[in-house]
Structure 1
Amino acid sequence: MHLNHVAEEAGLTSGAVLYHYPNLSELLVDAHHAGMERFYEQRLKRISGMRDPADKLIVVVRSGLPHGPDDPDVRLLNELGGAAARNRMYALLLTTLYDRQVSMYQSVLETGAALGTFTLSGDSLVIARNLVALEDAYGYRITARHPVIGPQEAAELILSYARTVTNNPLKTSH
């Protein structure tokens, strides 16, 4: 990852980024923490008071996608992902975020199965991993400005898979 890429994504000059983060590694660790807060901790908080596993699953899916193509958190995480192949620390940070998201989905799926809300078509871990992978893939398409895949379309595509693997209609208000 290069400083000019980070600065460009943030809409700043390289000098401005260096002023706040003299060490690029610190910036990437902070970006990871922001991603962990948004894509794991805030999502858990959003569903913590909900009782219906189907509603929880819908909220988790919708809140795991970029708000739009210019979503700064997701764009920075995409940059972090590009650096992961070259830096073990970045790879570990992204793996931690992924694993936590998988565990969040798995918990919702297993709770739904235990309550009889879901009839899972396979192993909850495999389904959870696929749901996070779909989030990541469609999130990338959104930030890459795909002409027909925005946040709503991506959520519906992921929910389509979730409906199949949970044998639940996952009715949404949209």
Structure 2
Amino acid sequence: MSRDGGPSRRSIIDATARLVVAQGVEGIRIRQVAAEAGLSTGAVLYHFPDQDALLLAVHEDAVGRYLATRRLACEQGATPFDRITSVARAGVPPWADRDTIRLFYEMHGRTARNSEHAGLLARLWTAEHSLYVDLIEAGIASGDFVTEAAADVATQLLGLEDGLVLQQVSENPGFDGEVVVRMFTQAARVLLGIAGPASAVDGRVL
């Protein structure tokens, strides 16, 4: 069996992700992962020779799955602004998986010491930024948005989204998912030069 596939590898990655969310990155041990996955230590080491390789695989897996859901969200919505709102919501719990978001913030601590983790977070930012740029440019072309700085506005929107979600997953009681999306869309309307009443997405008026 290839070291890159099989149900054992999947169960190891899932078990490690659960442990990272529950107790943080630094306390993870191979024996713990094996117990959580219901496997032997040797089975874990067969797929991942050390803790660093295991944590990097968990991080890569989370980034890939998270980006896939955000790309799907680009197709949802009747207007360019609705689609931007849909993409934003896909990054906000409970529409986004809360544990995945928390895992990302746990992995932030490794970026200063590990260039591969830093590269993953940079890749994540670049991919999310590109989604917003594409949607903004489509809205400019259709006449829905009034801005000449699609890349700059995308940077502002993504930075705002990240900051609001950080407050939410840090258990700030003033930031539930609905509040985060409302604050995001209010700012986005200003940045995109939209006038008039808010539109509805997924049955909610924003």
TM-score, structure 1 normalization? 0.83
Deviations 1:44-96 (A, max 9, x none): 2232365521110110111112329x921011100111211221111111000
Is 2:131 the counterpart of 1:131? no
Q: CA deviation at 1:16?
A: 2.8
State whether residues 77 and 83 of structure 2, in contact with CA within 8 Å, keep that contact through their aligned partners in structure 1: yes
| Aligned equivalent of 2:104 | 77
The superposition leaves residues 106-143 of structure 1 with CA deviations (integer Å, 9 ceiling, x where unpaired) of: 000000000001112x5111111111111211111111
The amino acid that maps onto 1:85 is: A
Alignment CA distance shift 1:159-1:112 (3 Å): same
Q: Which of residues 64, 81, 88 is equivalent to 1:36?
A: 64
Q: Which runs of 5+ in 2 are unaligned?
A: 1-15, 35-40
Describe the SS at the equivalent of 1:141.
helix
- SS of 2:63's equivalent in the other structure is helix
CA contact (8 A) 1:80 1:90 kept: yes
Which moved further from structure 2: 75-84 or 25-34? 25-34
SS of residue paired to 1:83: coil
1:147 equivalent to 2:173? Answer yes
1:133 corresponds to which letter in structure 2?
G
Bigger relative contact order, structure 1 or 2 (CA pairs below 8 A, ≥6 apart): 1
- What SS is found at the alignment partner of 1:66? coil
User: What is the total number of aligned residue pairs between the two structures?
Assistant: 168
Q: Which moved more, 1:50-59 or 1:156-165?
A: 50-59
Paired with 1:60 and 1:142, the residues of 2 have a C-alpha distance of: 17
- Structure 1: segments with no counterpart, 5+ residues: none
8 Å contact kept, 2:140–2:146: yes
* 1:55/1:170 contact within 8 Å kept: no
